[in-house]
Amino acid sequence: MTRSHDRVLRERAAAVIPGGMYGHQAVGLLPDDYPQFFSRAEGAHIWDADGKRYLDLMCAYGPNLFGYGQPEIDAAYVRQLGLGDTLTGPTELMVRLAEEMTLLVSHADWAMFCKNGTDATTMALMTARAHTRRKTIVRAKGAYHGAAPWCTPRPAGTTDTDRAHQIFCDYNDVASLEAAVAQAGDDLAAIFAAPFKHDAFIDQAAPDPAYARRCRELADQTGALLIVDDVRAGLRMARDCSWSVVGVEPDLSTWGKCIANGHPISALLGSEKARKGAASIYVTGSFWYQAAPMAAALETLRLVRTTDYLERLSAMGERLSAGLTERAAAAGFGLRCTGPGQMPLYLFDDDPDLRKGFFFVSQMLQRGVYLHPWHNMFLCAAMTEADIDAVLNAAEDSLAALKREAGGLAPVAKLAFLAGGQR
C-alpha cells in the first residue's frame, strides 16, 4: 500500500521537529484523516500535500480575509518588496498605516506595529502596567490571549512568577467581574477582554452589552486600562474595534491575523490616555518595521473601506449556520451553531467527547470541505453563495452518514480529557 505524501512528510517531520509539529497548526487533536501538510491555496480553497482540494473554513485560523493570494494585496506586497522591505529604518508606509488604522478604529489615536498577535497583547499588558504603575490584570477564564509565558494555555516551561498578578473572572458574568476587580484592590492595571467568547471546545457567546459597559466603568473607576483583544476577530465583526457593536470603546486594542490578509503584521492601537505609557516601554523585533506587509495592510484596509465584504461575510455566515442547524434537525441531531456566522463553531448536542463532531467533520473532509471540530472557524470574502450551497449539500450527505453510524461510534481517545472537564 502506498503511503500518502502527508504520511511521508509526517515521518520526516517527526525526526526534525519536536513532537512532529507544534502550536495551533499541529493536527494532534484533529481526526486522524486530517492532513498535516498543505501544498497550495487560492481564494477560498486549499490543497493538501497529496493534491486534494478543500473549501477551507479555517482560513489559516483567521489571516485569510479576502481570499488566499488576493491579487491586489499580493501585488502591493511584491511591489514594495522590489523597493525595499526589511531596512535599517522604517519607510513612509509605517506612518501611513498608523494614520489609516487610527482613522478606521474609533478609540485609537496611535498605533504600534509588531509581528505576532502575542506581541500585541504583551505590549498591551506592558503599556497598562507602565501607565498605571500597577501590576494586576483581570481576564476571563479560558480566553486565549497568546502563547507567551504569561498567557500560554499550557504551563509547561513557565514559572509561577511568569503568570503572577492575574485574576480570572467568568466572561459575561458581571458579578464575577466585579469580584475580580475588587480582589485586585488598588493594584488593577488592566481588564483584558475578548470581543466575544471564542474559547475552544465550548459554545461561543456574544458579549453581553451590560458586561462590556461594566468593564468600561470599572476601568474608569479604578484608573485601569480596558484592553480588547481583537487579534482573532478584528475586521470580521466591524470596520472598527469589535466592541463598537456593543457601544464600548477600550483604551487599547490588539490586532493581527487578517490585517494584511495573511502577510505578517500585528498591531497595538491605543487612545491618547495610554500614549505616554506606550512610549515608555522598550519593545522591538527584527522584522517589525518591514515595509512589504505594511503595503499589504494598506491595500487590505482599502478593501475593508470600499467593499461590502463585511455584510457579505455576515450574510453568508448566517445562512450557513441556519442551513446547518436545519439540516441537522431534519436528520435528528441537535447542532449548535454559535458565534457570529462569519466566525462560527458547530457542536453537536449530547457529544461530550466530540465523537459525533469528529465523524461529521471527517465526512465533510471526504467531501472537500475543511471544518474544525472544536475551534471557531472563519469565512472569507472569496467565498461565494455557491460555496455555501456546497457546504450545505455536503452536510446533508455527511449528516445522513452520521445518522447511519451514530450508534456505533467509538470514543475519541485523544479528546478523553474533555470528559474530565479539564484541559
Binders of its own copies in range 159-178 (CB under 8 A):
159, 161-162, 164-165
Interatomic CA distance for residues 216 and 211, integer angstroms: 9
Asked if residue 301 binds its own copies (CB under 8 A), the reply is no
Residue among 115, 302, 312, 414 that touches its own copies (CB under 8 A): 115
Binding residues for its own copies, rule CB under 8 A, total: 114
Q: How far apart are CA 342 and CA 245, in angstroms?
A: 15
Q: Which stretch binds its own copies (CB under 8 A): 42-50, 219-227, 315-323, 381-389?
A: 42-50
Query: Of the two residues 98 and 394, which places its CB atom closer to its own copies in the complex?
Result: 98
Q: Which stretch binds its own copies (CB under 8 A): 155-163, 308-316, 382-390, 414-422?
A: 155-163
**Triad 412, 414, 415: Cα angle to 5°:** 70
Q: Is 129 in the site for its own copies (CB under 8 A)?
A: yes
Rounded-to-integer distance, Cα 311 and Cα 296, Å: 22
Looking at the Cβ atoms of 200 and 206, the one nearer to its own copies is: 200
Residues 9-28 that bind its own copies (CB under 8 A): 9, 12-13, 15-19, 21-25, 27
Choosing from 116, 314, 325, 393, the residue that interacts with its own copies (CB under 8 A) is 116
Asked whether position 152 contacts its own copies by CB under 8 A, the answer is: yes
User: Minimum distance from CB of 68 to its own copies (Å)?
Assistant: 6
Q: Which residue has the cell 519593545?
A: 283
Q: How far is the CB of 6 from its own copies (least distance, A)?
A: 10
Residue 201 found at the interface with its own copies (CB under 8 A): no
**Terminal CA-to-CA distance of the chain, rounded, Å?**
37
H helices present in 255-380, as ranges = 275-280, 291-306, 309-330, 355-366
d(CA 73, CA 296): 5
d(CA 290, CA 264): 9
The nearest distance, CB 418 to its own copies, in angstroms, is: 17
β-strand partners of 382: none
**One of 145, 197, 257, 327 touching its own copies (CB under 8 A):** 257
Assess 243 for contact with its own copies (CB under 8 A).
Answer: no
User: What SS3 state is found at 416?
Assistant: helix
The residue within the footprint of its own copies, chosen from 104, 130, 315, 390 (CB under 8 A), is: 130
Q: What region does 339 belong to: left with phi over 0, alpha with psi -120 to 50, or beta? A: left
